[in-house]
Structure 1
Amino acid sequence: MKIVQILASSGGIGGLEQHTFNLTNQLAESNDVHVIAHPCYAEKFNENVQFHAVDFSRSRWNIRLLWQLKTLITQIQPQIVHAQAGKVSELIARIHPFLADIKIVTTVHGTKKNKSGYLVGDAVIAVSQALTLGIPESKAHIVYNGVYPQTALSVDAKQSLKHSIDQQFPHLDSTKKIVMCIGRLEPVKNIALLIQAMQGIDANLWIIGDGSLRQSLEAQVKQQNMQHQVAFLGFRTDARDLVQLADVVALSSEREGFPLVMVEALQADKVMVSTKVNGVIEWLPEAYLAEIGDSTALQQALKKGLESTALADFEKLFTRAKNELTVDAMAQQTLQIYERLLNK
C-alpha cells in the first residue's frame, strides 16, 4: 500500500508529533510510506520512510504551500493520504478537487469546537472517544495513541539515575516519595495547579520539561515556600527512564487529546493521577481523577495515589496498556481503516 503521511508542525515535539513519527515508522515496515513534513523533522523518520521537506511555517492560506503540497501528492500518487491534525486537514480540503481517486484520512488529536475541516476525510480517526463529537458516525474511528514498549531499568541503573538527581537537587529529602510531572511548561498544562495541589503533601515533586512559564512557576514555588519539595529538571531526553523512579505520575492539564504521558506511566506500572481531560477519563479510576482546575480535588487524588493500596487499583490497567496502547496496535488498527476504504 502506498501511503502519504502529512505533518504540518514547524518545530517542537509533543504528542501529535511523536504519534506521527511512531505511526509512520511502524507503517513503513510493510508499506510504501512517504511523509511530507517540515525539514526539522527529517531525522525522526527511519530509512524505510521517504521524506519530503515542506516549510509548513507558512499560513494554511498560502498559495505556494497549497501548490507545493498538491504537486508533491500528485507526483507520489498514493492510495491513501493521511492528514495529521487540523492544519493539514484544512490544506487537504482546499486541494481535494485535484486529488482524484485518493482516499483521505484525517486524525483529530485535540479538542476542537469546529471539526468541519476534518470532514474532508473519507475516514476520521480520533485519538479518544470524546474527540468523535461532531463527526458523522459513518466516518468516525477511535485509535488510541500508543508507544513503543519501555525497557525496564535494572535496580543498579535506577539507583544510579536516582543518585544523579539527588546530587543535582540536594535541597530535596531523597527519602520521600516522588510525584512526577512531564510536559511543556505552558498554560494548557496548568502546572501551577499541580504545585498548588502539592502543598501539604509529604512527597517531592519533580517537574520534567521546559517552556515559557518556567520562571513564573519557579516564583510560585518560592512564594508558597515549597523549595524543599519541588525540583525543576528541565527538558530531559531520558524522561521515559525517569518515569520508572516515580511513585505517582501527575497530569494537571486544562485539555488533552490522548496524553502519551498516561500511556508511558501505565506501561511503566506507575499510578497515574489526573484532571478529567479527554482520553484520561476513558482509562483511569474515578478516585484518581479531579475536575479540571480544582486544586483541592487534585490534592485528594494525589493523596490517594500515594497510598500503598493504589497499585492494586491499577494492576488490570497496567496489563491492558501493555496490550492495547502500543505502536504496533495503533498501526494495525490504522491499516485496517485504510484497507476498508480501499475495498469500498
Structure 2
Amino acid sequence: MKILMLMLSDNLGVGGLEKHTRELTKAMIALDHQVEVAAAPQHLEDLKGVTFYPVNTRRSRNSPALLLAILRIIRAGNYDVLHAQGTKAAFVLQRLAPFTKRQVRVATIHGFKSRYPKADAFHQLIAVSQALANDIAQPGVTVIYNGVSVTPQAPARLPAGTRRPVWLAVGRLAPVKGFDFLINAFQYCPGTLLIAGDGPEQQRLEELINSTGQSDAVKLLGFRTDVPALMAAVDGVVISSEREGFSYVCAEALLLGKPVISTDVPIANEFLPENHIIPAGAPPEVFARHLNINLENAFAAQATARKRAQTELTIDAMTKTTIQIYRECSER
C-alpha cells in the first residue's frame, strides 16, 4: 500500500501532531508499507530514508499555490491512500476531493477547533480522543488514540532537598498548560512539585513561585529529554492543562505505571476514575485536595486504566488500527 502523509504544521518545534505523524510513518514503513511525507522542511529532518516533499506551510490553506503544490505531489505519486494529519491538511485535502476520487482520503484531527472539515469529504475522519470526536459532532467519526513509545528508565536524580511526595508536571510553559493554577494549588500540599519544560511563561511562573513562598517546594526544571527517568523517580504525575486534544503526558505516565491526577482533559477524562479528575473551574483548594490523596490507593484504583493503556495507547495499536481503516475504506 502506498500512502502519502500530508502534514501542514508551520510550528518550529515538535508537538503532538508532528510527533504522531513521524511515529506513524516510521511504524508503517516497518510493516513494509510505502509511506511518503509532504510537510514543512523542519519536520522532515528526522525522517531519514523516507521519500519526502518539502512544502511551504506558511501559506494559507486556501492559497492556490499551496493547493496546486499538493495536487502535483498527489498526481505524481500514484498513491493508494492520502492521509491528512491535522486540521489545516484536512481542509486542503477537502478542497482537493474532486481531484482525488481514485484515492482513499483519510484525515486525523488532533485538536479542538471552532470549525472542522466535513466528514463526508473523506472516506474516514479520525479523532485522537473521544472528547474530540464528540466536539466534531459529525456522523462516522472514529477514534484512534495516539500511540506512545516509552521505555522504562532508571530513576533520575532529583534536586537536592526534594521532599516526598514528589509530583511531576510536564509541558511547554504556556498559559494553556495551567501551571499557574497548579502552583497556586500546591500551596496547600505537602512535598515537592517539579515542572519539566520551557516556554514564554517561565519568568512569570518563577515570580509566582517566589511570591507564594514556594521556592523550596516548587522547582522549574527546564526542558528535559529524560521524562521517563523523571517519572520513574517521582510518586505521581499531575496534569493541569486547560485544554488538550490528547495528553501524551497522561499516556506516558499510565504506560510507565505512575498514578495520575488531571484536569478535565482528554485522554485523562476517558481513562482515569472520575474522582481523579479535577472539575473545570475548581478553586485551588479543590485542586489541592486531589493531590492530597493516598497515592497507594490511587495507584490501585487506576489498574484498569493502566491495563487499557497497554492495549490502546501503544504505537503498535495505533498503526494496526489505522491500516485496518485504510483497508476497510479501500473495499467500500
Q: For 1:340 and 1:102, how far apart are their aligned partners in 2?
A: 13
Secondary structure of the corresponding residue to residue 244 of structure 1: helix
Counterpart selection for 2:231 from 243, 252, 262: 243
What SS class does the counterpart of residue 296 from structure 2 fall into?
A: coil
2:292 to 293, 303, 328: 303
Cα distance, 1:269 vs. partner?
A: 0.4
Question: Quick one: which amino acid aligns to residue 296 of structure 1?
Answer: E
Cα distance in structure 2, aligned partners of 1:116 and 1:84:
12
Which residue in 2 is equivalent to 1:102? Answer: 103
**1:281-320 equivalence runs, <5 A:** 281-294=269-282, 295-304=284-293, 306-320=294-308
> Offset of 1:121 from its aligned partner?
1.8
CA distance in structure 2 between the aligned counterparts of 1:289 and 1:216, rounded to whole angstroms = 26
Of 235-244 and 121-130, the range deviating more from structure 2: 235-244
Match of 1:43 among 42, 45, 49: 45
Deviation string, structure 1 residues 26-61 (Cα, Å, up to 9, x no partner): 1112201011111112232252x3222112122222
**Shift in Å at residue 274 of structure 1?**
0.5
Whole-angstrom distance in 1 between the partners of 2:234 and 2:20: 24
Of 160, 174, 181, the match for 1:186: 174
Return the alpha-carbon distance in structure 1 between the equivalents of residues 56 and 68 of structure 2.
Answer: 12
1:183-229: per-residue Cα shift (whole Å, max 9, x none)? 11111111111111111211111111111111111111111111011
SS of 2:216's equivalent in the other structure is coil
Runs of 5+ unmatched residues, structure 1 = none
With over 3 angstroms needed to count, the CA separation of the structure-2 counterparts of 1:220 and 1:267, relative to structure 1, is same
Per the alignment, in what secondary structure is the counterpart of residue 57 of structure 1? Answer: coil
Q: TM (normalized to structure 1)?
A: 0.91
What corresponds to 1:68 in structure 2?
69
Matches within 5 A, 1:19-168: 19-29=20-30, 30-47=32-49, 49-117=50-118, 119-133=120-134, 134-137=136-139, 139-148=140-149, 150-153=150-153, 157-158=154-155, 161-162=156-157, 165-166=158-159
Cα root mean square deviation, aligned: 1.6
1:125 counterpart SS class: strand
SS in 1 for 2:37: strand
Give yes or no for the alignment of 1:256 onto 2:244: yes
Aligned length: 328
In 1, Cα distance between the equivalents of 2:17 and 2:292? 31
Between the aligned partners of 1:174 and 1:24, the Cα distance in structure 2 is: 40
Distance in 2 of aligned mates of 1:287 and 1:147: 25
Query: Does the 8 Å contact 1:177/1:203 carry over to 2?
Result: yes
- Aligned equivalents of 2:35, 2:267: Cα separation in 1: 28
List alignment gaps of at least 5 residues for structure 2: none
Once the two structures are superposed, the pairs formed by residues 304-343 of structure 1 within 5 Å of their partners are 304=293, 306-343=294-331
1:179 and 1:98 map into 2 onto residues whose CA distance is 52
**Contact 2:39–2:54 (8 Å) recurs in 1:** yes
- Counterparts of 2:111 and 2:127, CA distance in 1: 9
Aligned to 1:18: 19
CA contact (8 A) 1:89 1:118 kept: no
The question of whether the paired residues in 1 share the 8 Å contact of 2:171 and 2:198 is answered with yes
Secondary structure of 2:292's counterpart equals helix
Distance 2:22 2:280 in 1: 30
Corresponding residue number in structure 2 for 1:6 = 6
Name the aligned partner's letter for residue 197 of structure 1.
Answer: A
State the shift of 1:151 in Å.
2.6
Find out whether 1:201 has 2:174 as its counterpart: no
State the SS of the aligned residue for 2:18: helix
Q: Distance in 1 between matches of 2:223 and 2:121?
A: 37
Contact 1:275/1:291 (<8 A) preserved: yes
Query: How far 1:135 sits from its partner (Å)?
Result: 4.0
CA distance in 2, matches of 1:310, 1:142: 27
Aligned partner letter, 1:51: F
Shift of 1:279: 2.3
